[in-house]
Chain A
Amino acid sequence: MSFIEVKNVARYFGEGARKVVANENMNFTIKEGDFCVIVGPSGAGKTTMLNLLGGMDRPSAGHILIDGVDIAEFDDLKRTTYRRNDIGFIFQNYNLIPNLTAKENVEMAAELSNDSLSATQVLTAVGLAHRLDNFPAQLSGGEQQRVAIARGLVKRPKLLLCDEPTGALDFKTGIRVLDILKQANIDYHMTVVVITHNREIAKMADRIIEISNATVRNIQLQEHPVPVTDLSW
C-alpha cells in the first residue's frame, strides 16, 4: 500500500453559479520516501492539493489515505493533531515568526513534539549554525527558507510539504534549498512533496504529478532523477 493515496478527491469552493472547482477527480499515490513534485500552471489546483494533503483543508469529496489513515474524515482537532505530529510545511514566503530568532523559530516547532531533533542540530544541518540568534528580518530570503525547512524537519514529520519553496528565491539560492530538501529526503527517509510550476524542478523528482485544470493529467515516475546541482532555470 502506498504511503499516500488520493482517491477521487474533489475540492469545491462556493456554490451554484459561483462554484469554483479547485480539485476534481484527483487520483494518485505517492510512495514513502518519494521525492514527489506536483507541477502545473498557475491556478491548476496544486496548492489546493497540497493543503488537502497537509490537513489544512478538507476535501469536498474523496479520500486521502496517509499511511493507511483516511484524513479526509478527520475533524478539526484530528487534523490539527495530524499536522502537529506528521506534517512539516514549507511556504513560498517562509512565514517565519518575525519576533523569534532562527533558533527560536525552529524550537517553536520542536516543542510540539516529544521526539524532535535538536533545533541547533537541524539548523546546523541546513548550514545556519552562525545564524542561530538572528531574527528573520536579519536573514536573507534563502536563509529564511532554510530556517523554515529546519522548522519543518525538526519535528521529524512523516511528510514534508513544500509550496513553491524556491518561488521567492533566485536560482542559486533555490538550488541550495532544493538540495537541502533532497538531503532531508535521503537522510531522513522523509517523503517530500514539492509544488511548483517550474518544470525544471520536476526533473529532480522521483515522481512527477502533472495537474492542470483541477485534475491530474499525468503521473510520471523517474527512475533516475536529475541531481539538483544539474538543474538550471
Chain B
Amino acid sequence: MLVKRTLWKDTFREIRHSISRFLAILFIILIGVAFYVGIRSAGPDMLATANKYYREQNLMDGQVISTIGLEADDLEAIEDILDENGGGKLTPQITQDVIFEETKQTVRLYSLADVSSDHSINRYHISAGRLPQAPHEIALDDAHHFAAQFELGDTITIADDFVKATHEKISDDKEFASADMTQGLLLTQHTFQVVGFVRSPLFIEEPTRGNSLVGGGKLNAFAVILPEAFDTKRYTDVYFTLDQLMHEAAYSTSYKDRRDDFIELLEQKLERRAADKQDEISGTLEEEIQKGEEALQEARTELDDARQKLIQAEAELKDARDQLNAGQIELNNKRQAGRQQLDDAWDEWQRGADRLEDGRIKLQEGKDEWNAAAQFLEQKSDELTQLEAGLKAIAEGEEALAAAQEELAQNEKSLNEKEAKRPQLTAFLKQMEQLGVDQLHGFTRSEILQQLKQLDQARQQLEDAKQQLNQQQAELAAKRQALNGYTPEQLEALRTQLQANEKNLAQKQKELEAKANEFAEQEQKISIAKQTLIEQSALFDDQIAAAEANLAAQEEKWAAGKATLDEQKATFERQSIAAENEIAENEAKLNDAKALLKDLPTVRYIINDRDDNPGYTEYEDNAARINAIAGVLPIFFFFIAILISLTTMTRMVDEEREYIGIMKAMGYRRQEIALKFIVYAFLATTLGAAMGLFIGYPLFPQLIYNSYRSLYNLPDIQLDTYPLFTATALFASYLATVFATLLAVLHSLRLSAAQLLRPKAPKEGQRILLEKITPLWERLSFNYKITFRNLFRYKTRMLMTIFGVAGSCGLILTGFGLSDSVIDIPNLQFDELSHYQAIAALKEADEADRATLEHFLQSEEAIQDTLSITTMTAKTEKKGMNTQQVTLYAVQEPERLPAFIQLQDSKTKKPLPLTDGTIYITTKLAELLGIKAGDTLTIESTDRGSFEFEISGIAENYLGHFLYMTAETYTEITNQPAEPNLKLIQYDTKQLSATEFGEKLLKQPAIMGISNLNDVKRSFTDTIDSLNIITHVLVISAALLAFTVLYNLTNINVAERIRELSTIKVLGFYDREVTAYIYRENIFLTLMGIVAGYGFGYLLHGFLIRTTEVDMMRFSRHISWQSYAMSALLTFTFATLVMFIVHRKLKHINMVDALKGGD
C-alpha cells in the first residue's frame, strides 16, 4: 500500500524505539514455533530416517524359516504365493550360529546372497573393506564393541564343534538333521580371513543382536560368508520383499495392515504345506519303512523258500535215487527178457534161412540149366548175327567202295585239270630265277612253290587213295568168301528157329524168373527178417545200451545232482548265515528308521517379519513416545508464548493510546491507524516464526535423534518440514499476535479521539480482602501492604504471571518427574521384586533329560537355588485396549516363591501370600483392564482355550503382565496338570559369568532356551535412558520459557507503573528499594505460580507417563521431593535473574521524563 509514507516511517521507527519489545515478541514466538515444529517433527523424522534406510538397503518384509530347511520346491511355492499377491522378491539364505574360538563370542553367520542383483534383500552397507568373494573370506558386523576387536586381514577361527572336519558328532541322516536346523549346520572352513566390516539393516540397534541357542544364549554379532563355506545343500531360511509394500512407509498403518494380511495368508498356506510336507517326510519314511519291512519279509521268505527248496531238492534227490535203483532193476529184467525174445526169434529165422537155402539150390540148378541153354542159343545167335552182319557189311562196303571209287575218279579229274597249270607255274619260277626276283605277275616265289607243292601232294594223295580202294576191294572179296556161301534165306531160317528156341527159353526164363522172384521174395523176406532181427537185436542192444547209458547218465546226473545239492547246501549254509546277519542288520536299521520316525522333527514354517528384528519396534516405540510428548508439550509452550505476546501487544496499544488519539483526531481512518500495530505484530511474528521454523525443524529432531545415536546404527537423520505443523504454528502465532493486536486496537479505536488523548485513568485503588483480616493486616509492614494491594490491583497481570510461572514450573517439574518415574524402575523391578538371575525354558518332559538337568542343577556349585514353574502364555482382550499378552506362573511350591519373586501389594507394599485360591495380577494389567481385587480376568490361550480367574490382589510390577497362582489353583481352573516347564535360577554371578552359565545350561538336553535377567534389565535401562534426553530438552525449554515469561511480564509491569516508580524514586527510594518494590510482588506471584505449577506439573507428568509408557511397562507415578524442590529452586532462580535485569533497568529510569505529562 502506498498509503501514507509517514505511516510506514512511524511504524519502522516504532520498531527501532521499542526494539526490546519487538524482540521479546519475536523471541517468544521463535521459541514457541521452534519448539512446536521441532518436537513434533522429531518423531516423523525419525521414522522417515529409518524408512529411507530400510528402502535403500532393501530391508526384508518377511522371513520364512523351515525347521527342516528349504529346497527349490519350497522356494518355488513361496514365490508362487508372492506372485499371487502382487509379486515380490526372494533371497534364500543359509544361517548358522557359531562360536569364534579366540573370543568365545556367539556369532550368526549369514550366507551372502547374490550381490550383483539390484534387488538383493537386506543389502549390507559396507563400512570398510569389501564383501567376501572366496569361501575362506568373511565380513564382520560393524557393531562398535564387536568390530573393535578385529582388523582387516585378521584370521578368525571357528570353534571345532561347528566345523565339518573337526566335528565329533557323527551326523545322522543328513536329510533330517536335528530338530532345529540352526543347530545342525557345519562349515567347510575352519578359519576365515576378515575382508570387510558391514552393517545390516536387520540390526538397527547397536548393542543387541537377539538370542541364540548356541553358546551362552545371547548373540553377540553377525558375519557374512559365502554359501560355499556351509556344508549343506539346503537353505535354512528365505527373506522376501513384497511389491505391494514397496511404496508404503515403514511403520505406517497401511504397511502394517497389508503386511499382516499377507502374512496371515502366508501362514495359512504354509501351515498346509507344512502338514503336507510332514506327511510327505513321514510318509516317505513310512514308505521306506514299509518297503524295508516288505523287503525284509521278502528276504526272510526267500530264505525260507530257499531252505524249503533245498529240503525239497533233497527229497527229490532221494526220490530220484529210489527211482534210479528201481530203474536199474527194471533194466536188468528187461534185458533178460529181451535177450530171451531175440534168441527165440533168431532160432526161428535160422529155420527159415535153411529152408531158403534149399530153395536157392534148387533155383540155381534151374538157372544153370537155363543158362546153358541160353548160352547155346546165344552162341548160335551170335554166329548168325555175325553172319548177317558180315553180309551187311560187305554189302555196305561194296557200296562205299563204289562211292569212293566215284569220288576218286572225280578227284583225279580235278587234279588233272590243276596239273595243267604246273608248266606255267614252273615257267614263272624259272623267270623269277632268271630275273632274280621273288615276285612276278602277282605271284610270289613262295606262293608258286607252295602251289606246286600242293599239286604234288594232291597227286600223292590221290595215289594213296587209289591204293586204299584197291585194298578195300580185295578185303571185301575175301570176306565174301568167308561166308561160306550162306544165303540170306538160310540165314533167315536159322534165325527163325533160333527165334523159336529163344521164345521157349524166354518162357522158361520167365518161369525161372518167377521162381527166382519168388525166391528172391523169400530171400528178401528172410533177408528182411534177418535184417529185422538184426535191427531188432541191434535196437534191443541199443535200447538196452541206451537204457543203460540213460541209467548211467541218470546216475551221473544224480551224482552230479547230489554233488550240486551238497554244494548248494554248503553255499546255502554260508549264505543263510550271511543272509540272517543281513536281515538282522536290516531289521536293526528298520528299527532305527522307526525310531527316527518317532523323533521326526515337526515340519514347521516360522514366519518372521520386521517386527522381530531386534530394535525395530523399539525404535518405533521411541518415536511414538516422542510423538506423544510432542502432542502435548509444545502446545503448552505455545500457549504460554501466545499469552505473553498477547499481553505485550495489548500493552503496546495501551502505551500508544495517545498516538491513536492523535491519529484519530487528525482524521486517519481506523485501518490506517491499526496498520502500525498490525505491521509491528506481523513483522515480529513473521520474523520470529521464520527463525523458529528455521531453527526448530533441524535442531530438535537432531538433538533428540542424537541421543538415540549411540543406541542405533542408522544413518544421519532425515530432516523434513511438515506443512501441517508449519501451518499450525504460523496460524497460532498470527492468531496470538496479529489477531490479538487487532482486537486491542479496535477496542481502543472505539473510544473518541478526545478520550484517547486524555491519559488513561489510572486503575482505582481499592481495599483488598486481606485488609479485612485486621490483626494480620496491621502487623504487615508498609511495604507488604503495598505489595499486596498492588498484587490484587492488577488482577489480569497477576493471573497471567502466575499462569506463566505455573506453566513453566510445571513443565520443569514434569521434566524432573519423568526422570524420577523411570530411573528407579530397573532397580525396583530387577533388584527389589525379582531375586533370580536367569529363567530357563524346559523342553517337553523327558524323564531322563529332566533327571540329568536336576543333577546338573544340584551339582553345579555356583547355582544357589532353583524354582520350578508351570508357565503359560495367553492373551487378554478388551474393547479400546490393545490385545495384551499375559504370562501365567503356576507355582508348585508357593512357599518358596518369595525368595525368587516378591509379590507385594502395589499400593501398600505389603507382601501378598500365595496360597491355593489366591490369584494375583500385576499392576499395569489391572490398570489397563480396570480390574481390582474381586473382579474376574479372562485369558485366552491359543491352544488350550480360555479360562477365568478371580483376582485376589494386585502385585507390584513394572515390566510385563503376569498372573500368579499355585499349581493347585491352576489345575483346578484349567483342568490340566501343572507340568513344570520353566525354572527360575539363582546363581552367583561372581562365580559364574552369564555367558559361562548360559553355555553350561544350554548343553542340557532338557533346556530349550534361557534368558538372562541382567540383559533384560540392561535393555530396559537403555529404553529409559533414551527418555533422559526428553527430560533435558523439556527442562531447558521450560527454563527458557520461565525466564522469558517473567521478564516480559515484569517489563510490562514496570512500563505500566513507570510513573509510580518514578515518583517513589523521586521520593528518594534507593535503587534497591525501588526494585524491591517490584520484586516483592514478583516473589509472591512466583510463589503462587510454583504452587499452581506443582499441581499442573503433577497432572502433566501423570499424563505423559501414561502416554510414553508402552503397554508392557509401568513407570512409577512418583515424583521425588527433590524434583519439587528443584523446580521451585529453578523458578526462583529465574525470577531472581529477571529481577537483576529489571533492576538495571529501573536504575536508569529517567524520572524526569516519566513524570512529564500533562505539561
Neighbouring A residues of B1071 by C-beta, 8 Å: 76-77, 80
**Is there contact, CB below 8 Å, between A84 and B766?**
no
Among A87, A111, A167, contact of B782 (Cβ-Cβ < 8 Å): A111
Q: How far is the CB of B72 from chain A (nearest CB, A)?
A: 94
Closest residue of chain A to B790, judged by CB? A99
- B734-778, CB under 8 A of A: which get 1 and which 0? 000000000000000000000000000111111000000000000
Q: Using a CB-CB cutoff of 8 Å, which residues 114-155 of chain A contact chain B?
A: 135-137, 151, 155
Contacts of A107 in B (CB 8 A): 782
For residue B669, CB closer than 8 A to chain A, the reply is no
- Partner of A100 from the list B789, B1065, B1069 (CB cut-off 8 Å) is B789
The interface residues of chain B lying within 8 Å CB-to-CB of A80 are 1065, 1068-1071
A98 touches B1060 (CB 8 A): yes
Q: Does the CB pair B1067–A109 fall under 8 Å?
A: yes
Would A51 and B1152 be within 8 Å (CB), given that A104-B782, A107-B782 are in contact?
Answer: yes
What A residues does B1155 contact at CB under 8 A? Answer: 91, 95
A108 contacts B1158, CB within 8 Å?
no
Across-interface contacts of A85 in B (CB, < 8 A): 1068
Say yes or no: A56-B764 contact (C-beta < 8 A), given A99-B789, A104-B782.
no
Cβ-defined contact, A81 with B1068, below 8 A? yes
* Given A108-B1064, A111-B782, A137-B764 contact (CB < 8 Å): yes
> What residues of chain B lie closer than 8 Å to A108, measured between beta carbons?
782, 786, 1064, 1067
Pairwise interchain contact B1068-A99, C-beta atoms closer than 8 A: no
Q: Which residue of A lies closest to B791 (CB)?
A: A99
17 A–B contacts, CB within 8 A, in A order = A42-B1159, A51-B1152, A80-B1065, A80-B1070, A92-B1158, A98-B763, A98-B764, A98-B765, A98-B1060, A100-B789, A108-B786, A108-B1067, A111-B782, A112-B1069, A137-B764, A151-B1067, A167-B1158
Given A56-B1151, A135-B764: A93 and B1067 interface contact (C-beta under 8 Å): no
Chain A residues closer than 8 Å to B782, beta-carbon distance: 104, 107-108, 111
Q: Which listed residue (B1060, B1068, B1158) contacts A97, Cβ 8 A?
A: B1060
A83 with B765: CB separation less than 8 A:
no
A92–B1159 CA distance with the chains assembled, in angstroms? 8
* Interchain CB contact (< 8 A) of B765 among A76, A91, A136: A136
Q: Once bound together, how far apart are the Cα atoms of A92 and B782, in whole Å?
A: 26
Q: In the complex, what residues of B have CB within 8 A of residue A83's CB? A: 1066-1068
B1017 at the interface (CB under 8 A from A): no
Asked if A40 is an interface residue, CB under 8 A from chain B, the answer is: no
Expressed in whole angstroms, the Cα–Cα distance for A155 and B782 within the complex equals 16
Judged by a CB distance under 8 angstroms, whether A61 is at the interface is: no
A108 to B146, CA, bound (A): 76
| Nearest residue, chain B, Cβ from A151 | B1067
* Chain A interfacial positions (CB closer than 8 Å to B): 42, 47, 51, 54, 56-57, 76-77, 80-85, 87, 89, 91-93, 95-101, 104, 107-109, 111-112, 135-137, 151, 155, 164, 167-168
Closest-CB distance, B976 to chain A (whole angstroms): 81
The CA-CA distance from A97 to B764 in the complex, in Å, is 10
> Which residues of chain B from 1052 to 1070 have a CB within 8 Å of any chain A CB?
1059-1060, 1062-1070
Q: How far is the CA of A101 from the CA of B771 in the complex (A)?
A: 13
Quote the shortest CB–CB distance from A106 to chain B (angstroms): 11
Q: Chain B residues near A57 (CB, 8 Å)?
A: 1152
The answer for the CA separation of A90 and B820 in the assembled complex, in Å, is: 59
Q: Is B785 in the interface zone, CB < 8 Å from A? A: yes
> What residues of B have a CB within 8 angstroms of the CB of A89 in the complex?
1066-1067
Closest to B789 in A: A99
CA distance A170 to B574 in the complex (A): 154
Cβ of B1147 < 8 Å from any Cβ of A? yes
Task: State whether A93 touches B1157 (Cβ < 8 A).
Answer: yes
The distance from the CB of B999 to the nearest CB of chain A, in whole angstroms, is 80
Q: Which of B1137-1159 contact A (CB under 8 A)?
A: 1147, 1151-1152, 1155, 1157-1159
Residue of A whose beta carbon sits closest to that of B1065: A80
For B1152, what are the chain A residues with a Cβ–Cβ distance below 8 Å? 47, 51, 56-57
**B789 partner residues in chain A, CB cutoff 8 A:** 99-100
Contact among A76, A104, A112, A136 with B1067 in the assembled complex (CB-CB below 8 Å): A112
The answer to whether the Cβ of B797 comes within 8 Å of any Cβ in the partner chain is: no
Bound CA–CA A137/B1068 (angstroms): 24
A95 to B1058, CA, bound (A): 11
Task: Tell me if B422 is interfacial: C-beta within 8 Å of chain A.
Answer: no
- CB-CB nearest in chain A for B788: A99
Contact indicator B786/A100 (Cβ below 8 Å): yes
Scoring B residues 932 to 946 as 1 if CB is less than 8 Å from chain A, else 0, what string do you get? 000000000000000
CB neighbours (8 Å) of A95 from chain B are 1059-1060, 1062-1063, 1066, 1155
Q: Whole-angstrom distance between the alpha carbons of A83 and B761 in the complex? A: 28
For the complex of A and B, 6 pairs with smallest distance between CB atoms: A84-B1068, A135-B765, A83-B1068, A99-B765, A137-B764, A95-B1063
Determine which of A56, A93, A164, A167 lies in contact with B1066 in the assembled complex, contact meaning CB atoms within 8 Å. Answer: A56
The distance in angstroms between the C-alpha atoms of A85 and B1070, with both chains bound, is: 12
Further pairs besides A93-B1157, A95-B1062, A136-B765: 14, Cβ < 8 Å: A51-B1152, A56-B1066, A56-B1151, A76-B1071, A80-B1071, A84-B1067, A91-B1155, A92-B1158, A97-B786, A99-B763, A100-B789, A135-B766, A137-B761, A137-B764
B interface bracket (residues with beta carbon within 8 Å of A) = 20 to 34
- Give the CA-CA distance A136 to B1071 in the complex, in Å: 25
B1063–A97 CB distance below 8 A: yes
- Expressed in whole angstroms, the minimum distance between the Cβ of B268 and any Cβ of chain A is 81
A76 to B1071, CA, bound (A): 9
* Alpha-carbon distance between A181 and B850 when the two chains are bound, in angstroms: 112
State whether the Cβ of B1106 lies closer than 8 Å to any Cβ in chain A. no
B843: which A residues are within 8 A, CB to CB?
none
Min distance, Cβ A93 to any Cβ of chain B, angstroms: 5
A97 and B1069 form a contact (CB under 8 A): no
Query: Chain A residues near B765 (CB, 8 Å)?
Result: 97-101, 135-137
A130 to chain B, nearest CB (A): 18
| Chain A residue contacts of B1064, Cβ below 8 A | 97, 108
Smallest distance from the beta carbon of B1071 to chain A beta carbons, Å? 7
In the complex, A101→B777 CA distance in Å?
Answer: 15
**Distance of A211 Cα from B1063 Cα, bound (Å):** 26
Most chain A CB within 10 A, of B764, B765, B1155, B1158, is at B765
Q: Kindly report which residue of chain A lies nearest to residue B793, judged by CB atoms.
A: A99
B1069 cross-chain contacts in A, Cβ below 8 A: 80, 84, 112
Residues in chain B near residue A51, CB distance under 8 A:
1152
Cβ contacts under 8 Å, A109 to chain B: 1067
CA A57 to CA B1155, docked complex, whole Å: 13
Most buried by B among A57, A97, A109, A151: A97
Q: For the complex, what is the distance from the CA of A80 to the CA of B766, rounded to whole Å? A: 30
User: A151–B1063 Cα gap in the complex (Å)?
Assistant: 11
Q: Which residue of B lies closest to A94 (CB)?
A: B1063
A51 to chain B, nearest CB (A): 5
- Enumerate chain B residues within 8 angstroms of A81, measured Cβ to Cβ: 1068, 1070
Which A-chain residue is minimally distant from B787 (CB atoms)? A99
User: Considering the chains assembled together, what is the distance between the CA atoms of A99 and B768 in angstroms?
Assistant: 10
* Inter-chain contacts of A96 with B (CB < 8 A): 1063
**Which residues of chain A have C-beta atoms less than 8 A from B763's C-beta?**
98-99
A107 to B780, CA, bound (A): 14
Docked complex Cα distance between A170 and B763 (Å): 24
A83 to B790, CA, bound (A): 25
Q: Which residue on chain B has the smallest CB distance to residue A136? A: B765
The residue in chain B whose Cβ has the minimal distance to the Cβ of A84 is: B1068
Out of A87, A104, A168, name the residue touching B1068 (CB < 8 Å).
Answer: A87
Smallest Cβ-Cβ distance to A50: which chain B residue: B1152
Could you tell me which residues of chain B, from 350 to 384, have a CB within 8 Å of some CB in chain A?
Answer: none
A151 surroundings in chain B (CB, below 8 A): 1067
Who on chain B is nearest to A43 by CB?
B1159
Within 8 A of A (CB), among B1031-1073: 1059-1060, 1062-1071
Please, which residue of chain B has its CB at the minimum distance from the CB of A52? B1152
Which one of B762, B785, B1070 contacts A104 once the chains associate, using CB atoms below 8 Å? B785
**Chain B 190-211 interface mask (CB, 8 Å, partner A; 1/0):** 0000000000000000000000
CB distance from A202 to the nearest CB of B (A): 19
